[in-house]
């Protein structure tokens, strides 16, 4: 349970940093719209999106990677950029049902957002690994 909570928090931090990177470059292709403007609502929005990212990537992403394994081999893994971009767009679409959450301007913004999010989430997971009970040397 602790590992799950740390992973959701890591996803939320990575998404927050992703939106900061996009804002720093003046790009409006990926942003988060909280359900209210107070700071608590912003944090809760990022945590809910971190949870949604974990569920979508864990369930649907894994199924797609298993089914599309030959395509991954054929393209030497480059199809993963497209799959991750589509999963990023799916999270934006699902969160849009609730009237708040992730907003992505288009497919290529989704691919770029997924790349930035993936790199940041990897770095954050290295920092948070000791908190989740994982092996820090692995």
Query: 6 near 124, Cβ under 8 Å?
Result: no
Could you report the per-residue pLDDT of 58-90, keeping only the tens digit for each? 999 999 999 999 999 999 999 999 999 999 999
Could you report the per-residue pLDDT of 2-61, keeping only the tens digit for each? 888 898 999 999 999 999 999 999 988 899 999 888 999 999 999 999 999 999 999 999
What are the residue boundaries of the structural domains of the chain, listed by start? 2-128
Strand-pair partners of 31: 103
For residue 46 the two structure tokens come to 């990022």
């Amino acid at each position: 349970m602790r590992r799950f909570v740390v992973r959701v928090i890591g996803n939320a931090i990575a998404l927050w940093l992703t939106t900061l990177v996009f804002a720093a470059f003046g790009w409006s292709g990926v942003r988060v719209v909280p359900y209210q403007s107070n700071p608590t609502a912003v944090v809760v929005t990022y945590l809910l999106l971190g949870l949604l990212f974990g569920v979508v990537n864990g369930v649907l992403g894994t199924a797609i990677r298993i089914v599309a394994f030959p395509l991954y081999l054929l393209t030497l893994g480059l199809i993963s950029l497209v799959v991750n971009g589509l999963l990023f767009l799916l999270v934006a679409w699902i969160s849009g049902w609730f009237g708040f959450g992730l907003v992505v301007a288009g497919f290529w913004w989704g691919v770029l957002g997924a790349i930035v999010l993936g790199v940041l989430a990897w770095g954050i997971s290295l920092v948070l690994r000791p908190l989740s009970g994982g092996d820090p040397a692995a």
